[in-house]
């Protein structure tokens, strides 16, 4: 797996030289692409240089052992050689992980959708709980979460759409797509019986403004209407709400959160582009299903991925048979442990494929 590393180092050096060229800063797109490419390969270069230094130190100590006449120096070289050789498997494993195929969408921001499924009010209440869970997690990572659309129910939230931005958001959040099941005694349950409800979570990499999706406006029907619900003086007095219907796919986006029709329209088109891009990705994943066997985070919206059992304080991720018994911490946003386990599972599958 290491035979192409020297060419990666050369590419890194070329990109570093390019960034030193003052004229590059006059070309914003090229500057952004150069910075991104260099940032993506920099960890590989740093680890490879560490690996090469370790190999050189091992060879140097072996040379001392065989050629040094001073017994004390030879003994010191043997001790150091033992320590260095113990480090080698770890660095080799880290380097292999860095060389695994990278999801091209990992660096992207995401559009997050959380919707109530089966269970009536209890499902809506759980949508609000899961949204709070994610919001706390985003805050811990310094990510920004902007609510694009919110549909409240009699209790809780029927649907919420959020634009999440930060460092490599999709790389961690892509594992959250699917059906989340909750088992608990609702506040409305007088007999103390446990109810089972579901919600669906969709995590979609945000479409680029340029290049990812080109929408044929002849295929989009745009309807405007008066907003309903809370929203200030403009509600029910101006046609500020916008509904887009993409006729080839049947995707409908309705937006009324802003008082400005133009702002609602811009938001709606942003979500439509992301949904169309996500649809393209899901179709590609379906074609590669045999190659992706065993991987999680493939975007399957119908898969039941997780159960939140409140009476037993248990969280189970069904994709990797992972169970933790600290559900209160998890539902408060401490979800990194499970996401790390999902990432490790995927890395193990990819490593196995790379070594076969």
DSSP codes of every residue in 298-352? S--TTSEEEEEETTTTEEEETTTTEEES-HHHHHTT--HHHHHHHHHHHHHHHHH
Total number of domains constituting the chain: 3
- Same-domain check for residues 16 and 128: no
Q: Are residues 191 and 309 in the same domain?
A: yes
Among 74, 99, 124, the domain boundary falls at 99
Query: Taking the C-alpha atoms of 288, 294, 298 and 304 in order, what is their torsion angle to the nearest 10 degrees?
Result: 130
DSSP 231: -
CATH classification at residue 331: 3.30.70.1660
Domain that holds residue 230: 217-283
Q: Is residue 45 part of a domain?
A: yes
Looking at residue 174, what is its pLDDT? 94
Query: Which DSSP category does 206 fall into?
Result: P
Three-class DSSP category at 201: strand
pLDDT at 237: 52
| Cβ contact 295:353 at 8 Å | no
Is residue 158 domain-resident? yes
- Domain boundary pick from 75, 99, 123: 99
Q: What angle do CA 152, 127, 259 make, to 5 degrees?
A: 35
Whether residues 191 and 303 share a domain: the answer is yes
Looking at 252, 283, 314, the residue that finishes a domain is 283
Distances (CA, A) of 189 to 193, 310, 329: 7, 15, 24
Q: Would you say 217 and 188 are in contact if contact means Cβ atoms under 8 Å apart?
A: no
Domain shared by 304 and 204, yes or no: yes
Amino acid 285: pLDDT = 75
**CA gap 10, 323 in Å, rounded:** 44
Same-domain check for residues 134 and 10: no
The confidence score (pLDDT) of residue 355 equals 64
* Buried b / exposed e along 273-296 (16+ C-beta atoms within 10 A): bbbbbbbebbeebeeeeeebeebb
Residue 213: count other Cβ atoms within 10 Å of its Cβ.
18
Query: What pLDDT, on the 0 to 100 scale, is given for residue 230?
Result: 46
Name residue, tokens 């999902």: 342
**333 belongs to a structural domain:** yes
Tell how strand 220-225 and strand 157-165 pair up. Answer: unpaired
What is residue 356's DSSP assignment? -
Q: Is residue 104 part of a domain?
A: no
Question: From first to last of its 356 residues, what are the pLDDT tens digits of the chain?
Answer: 567 888 899 999 999 999 999 999 999 889 988 998 899 899 999 999 999 999 999 999 999 998 888 889 899 999 999 999 999 999 999 998 888 888 888 989 999 999 999 888 899 999 999 999 999 999 999 999 999 889 888 888 999 999 999 999 999 999 999 999 999 988 766 677 888 999 999 999 998 765 678 888 999 999 888 776 544 444 445 678 899 999 999 999 998 878 888 889 999 999 999 999 988 888 877 766 655 666 776 556 677 999 999 999 999 999 999 999 999 999 999 999 999 999 999 888 888 776 65
Residues 307 and 189 in one domain: yes
Does 316 reside within a domain? yes
46 lies in the same domain as 164:
no
200 and 300 both lie in a single domain: yes
Question: What integer pLDDT is reported at residue 300 of this predicted model?
Answer: 61
Q: Which residue, among 9, 26, 37, 254, has the nearest Cα to 148 in the 3D structure?
A: 254
Same domain as 170, residue 84: no
Residue 290 forms part of a structural domain: no
Same-domain check for residues 27 and 143: no
Tell me, yes or no, whether 288 lies in a domain.
no
Q: Identify the pLDDT of residue 288.
A: 66
CB 85 within 8 A of CB 96: no
Distance CA 54, CA 62 (A): 12
Residue 142 and residue 37 share a domain: no
Strand ranges, E, within the chain: 110-116, 144-152, 157-165, 178-184, 195-205, 220-225, 241-246, 251-255, 304-309, 314-317, 322-324
Q: Please report the pLDDT score of residue 234 as a whole number.
A: 43
* Nearest in space to 119 (alpha carbons), one of 204, 42, 183, 203: 183
Say if residue 14 is in the same domain as residue 128.
no
Residue 268 is part of a domain; what is its CATH number?
Answer: 3.30.160.20
Residue 291 in domain:
no
Is residue 65 helix, strand or coil? helix
- CATH code for position 59: 1.20.58
């Amino acid at each position: 797996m290491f035979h192409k590393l020297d060419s990666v180092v050369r590419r890194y050096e070329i990109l570093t030289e390019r960034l030193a060229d003052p004229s590059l800063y006059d070309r914003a797109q090229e500057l952004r692409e150069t910075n991104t490419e260099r940032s993506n390969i920099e960890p590989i270069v740093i680890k490879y240089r560490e690996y090469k230094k370790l190999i050189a130190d091992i060879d140097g100590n072996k040379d001392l052992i065989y050629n040094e006449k001073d017994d004390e120096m030879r003994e010191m070289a043997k001790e150091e050689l033992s320590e260095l050789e113990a480090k080698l498997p770890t660095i080799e494993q880290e380097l292999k992980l860095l060389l695994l195929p990278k999801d091209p969408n990992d660096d992207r921001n995401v559009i997050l959708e959380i919707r109530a499924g089966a269970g009536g009010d209890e499902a809506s209440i759980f949508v609000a709980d899961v949204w709070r869970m994610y919001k706390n997690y985003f805050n811990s990572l310094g990510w920004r979460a902007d609510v694009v659309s919110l549909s409240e129910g009699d209790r809780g939230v029927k649907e919420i759409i959020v634009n999440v931005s930060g460092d490599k958001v999709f790389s961690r959040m892509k594992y959250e797509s699917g059906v989340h099941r909750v088992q608990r005694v609702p506040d409305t349950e007088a007999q103390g019986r446990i109810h089972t409800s579901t919600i669906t979570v969709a995590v979609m990499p945000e479409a680029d403004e340029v290049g990812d999706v080109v929408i044929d406006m002849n295929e989009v029907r745009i309807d405007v209407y008066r907003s309903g619900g809370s929203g200030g003086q403009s509600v029910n007095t101006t046609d500020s709400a916008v509904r887009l219907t993409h006729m080839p796919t049947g995707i409908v986006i309705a937006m009324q959160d802003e008082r400005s029709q133009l702002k609602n329209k811009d938001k709606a088109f942003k979500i439509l582009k992301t949904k169309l891009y996500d649809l393209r990705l899901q179709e590609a994943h379906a074609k590669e299903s045999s190659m992706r066997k065993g991987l999680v985070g493939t975007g399957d919206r119908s898969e039941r991925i997780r159960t939140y059992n409140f009476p037993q304080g248990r969280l189970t991720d069904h994709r990797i048979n992972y169970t933790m018994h600290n559900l209160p911490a998890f539902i408060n946003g401490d979800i990194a442990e499970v996401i790390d386990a999902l990432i490790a599972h995927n890395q193990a599958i990819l490593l196995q494929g790379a070594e076969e």
